[in-house]
Amino acid sequence: MACQYKPAGNVPGKRPYLPGRACSKCPQASECRLNQCVVNSDLDVVLQAEGKQATISATTKLIGKQATTSAVT
């Protein structure tokens, strides 16, 4: 079995990130953790990496090119 990811990334000669301050262009429904934009669906992974426990339960549903997130606190 093989996985094919599109569009391709890691293009030689191109930077994978935009220049600027970390998290300066995060979407409104996200927060900055470990200098990366994180939405609620990613929060458990980040908190686990920081040795903390999540206090938010979230689900993410992908619709076209936009993701909608609903959270329960």
Write the CB contacts of 48 (distance below 8 Å, at least 6 apart in sequence). 54
Domain ranges, residue 55: 20-59
Asked if residue 48 is part of any domain, the answer here is yes
SS3 for 46? Answer: helix
| 1 or 15, higher pLDDT | 15
CB 60 within 8 A of CB 69: yes
For the chain, the domain total comes to 1
Residue 51 lies in a domain: yes
Is residue 71 situated within a structural domain? Answer: no
Does residue 9 belong to any structural domain of this protein?
no
Residue 73 is predicted with a pLDDT of: 44
Segment 16-59, tens digit of pLDDT = 777 889 989 888 888 887 788 887 765 666 666 666 665 545 55
